[in-house]
A and B are shown apart, each in its own frame.
Chain A
Amino acid sequence: MNGSQGTYRNTDSEERPDRSLGITRRTFLHKSFLAGAAGAATFGWFPLINTIDLAFGAESFKFAWLSDTHLYPKDVNTRFVEKTERAVKEIQAMQPAADFLIFGGDLAQLGDPVELDLGNEILKQVTINKVFIPGEHDWYLDMGAKWEQLFGKPPWSFDHKGVRFIGLDTVSRAPDYWSIKKMSPKERMGHMATLDGSVAGPWAGVGHDQLAWLNSALADLAQDAPVIVFSHNPLYEYYPPWNFWVRDWREVHEILQPFSNVTNIHGHTHQVLYNEIGNLRSIGMLATSWPWPYAPEGVPILTTPHIRADPGDHFDGVGWAQLDVTAAGRVEHEYMMWRKDILAEAPWDSGTGDNANQVLRPRIADRQWPY
């Protein structure tokens, strides 16, 4: 198989050629991890690995992804704090250590400085390099002021062991719906923090200025060099009403199109997701806070959905992720979901199986009143 082929593995290591795309897809559950890593059995890890070929990973290394912790102040609830702390301890315990941690946004729930400071404190337990991109929950109380003070200004890019990493900001460029309605910062944040709200609308986007930046950030790069793009929102159109997209994804694809090995790693969707459009692969990461249901439509056909989460166990359906770039030039991605079974085999266990016979319509109450 050549460098542009994507693979996706399963328990039985059964190869299933995907004729429509001319690629080979395999999926397996990485059982060795249970026996190998200290504490893995205790935590009930049973990670899923996505293996993606990258042509030019020069040297093998690991990095970790953590996002969507949605921290409230401790006096409101501590369950999200506990889960973030658990993930942070596990990341810090990785053997060998990860080269860096990417935090993918939605550290806070309501952009409260108390929440962001709390997150910053917890993340200090991770002593490897850390890079950050914001989520909408971090941004819209003070328009990113506290975020930038703590974590710096997106976008950014760096080269690491033969891979160009890009961090995008897909949240800060929402059209201004608040000024004309004279909303307070709290009201603005409230609308932004409501996934199915209709006031903020499909706000996610990269924006002209950042598109230009992205173009120049890749200008010097060989077209067959591997690129990994981090974004909070997915860089394709999955389900705009919940901002499971960026509105200018076509322009993003246009810029990335000349490069043969681009992997987008994103948060925001809080669920197992995989997609390929042209040369661009997208992998959706888990949240530590709670899993979103699969959208009623638009779930990529290449996604093997995760199993339904148990709503009575708030450690279920959530977690973090570990990504390896191997010497052979592949990115292996493991969902560290805190449960035994991750993937659904039968439709009745599947998160997307819930969509059967379900027809939804968007809410209207938040538009009727008080605005």
Chain B
Amino acid sequence: MKRKRYALIVLGATLSLSLVVTAVLNQALAHKAKHTPEQLQAFQDVLMEQVRLGDLLFHGDGATAQQMGVNLSRTGMACAMCHPFASDTHPHEFPKFQEQMNAFATLRDMINWCIEKPNEGEIIGTDSEAMKALEAYIYWSNQGSKLDTGRH
């Protein structure tokens, strides 16, 4: 009985939350109304949640990796050990010819190369949640960098 009521509450909460989110998104998608500060904050929050998750993955947080179903390293090495502050990840230089792969590569290709080669981890889907989070963290950290496509 208790459990049923709890389930109903959860269901109700989820429904009303998704209505709110849908309403916000509809407005955003429709692009007909002026944005409210609350909306902008909501958009920012979505980004920063991804930055936070990406940061944790990037710094080898085991719990986050497990939660997202990825194994980015088998060596104890984390991305941040060669890239503190996501330095030398160069999101502003991609896409470019990447010597290690002998191929024209995107940032996502490069992320997977690092996972597979130096870290000896398991590569992740190019459109996976973990990839988006890593990309979010890398871009956010390099905010202010100047586009320099193809730089070697």
Contacts and interface: CB of A to CB of B under 8 A. Distances in A.
B100 interface: yes
Contact of B145 (A241, A312, A358): A358
A76 B117 contact: no
Contacts of B146: 357, 359
Q: How many A residues are at the interface, by size bracket?
A: 35 or more
A interface majority secondary structure? loop
A363 B55 contact: yes
A195 B87 CA distance: 12
Contact of A359 (B51, B75, B114, B145): B145
B80 A196 contact: yes
Nearest to A354: B88
B76 A77 contact: yes
Interface stretch (B1-9, B11-19, B121-129, B136-144): B136-144
Interface in A310-326: 310-312, 314
A60 interface: no
B75 A358 contact: no
Nearest to B51: A365
A121 B100 CA distance: 36
A17 interface: no
Interface string A276-301: 00000000000000111101100000
A89 interface: no
Contacts of B59: 194, 363, 365-366
Which residue, A79, A290, A363, A364, has most C-beta atoms of chain B within 10 A? A363
Contacts of A311: 82, 100, 114, 117-118
Interface residues of B, number: 36
A360 B144 CA distance: 7
Nearest to A363: B55
Given A293-B88, A366-B55, A357 B143 contact: no
A360 B143 CA distance: 7
Given A357-B151, A358-B92, A359-B144, A195 B76 contact: no
Given A360-B85, A365-B51, A195 B145 contact: no
A195 B80 contact: yes
B151 A356 contact: yes
Contacts of A293: 82-84, 87-88
A360 B148 contact: no
Contacts of B100: 310-312
A362 interface: yes
Contacts of A314: 118
Nearest to A296: B87
A72 interface: yes
Interface of A: 72, 76-77, 79, 109, 194-196, 241-242, 290-293, 295-296, 310-312, 314, 348, 354, 356-366, 368-369
11 contacts: A109-B76, A194-B59, A292-B82, A292-B84, A293-B82, A310-B100, A358-B142, A361-B140, A362-B85, A365-B55, A365-B56
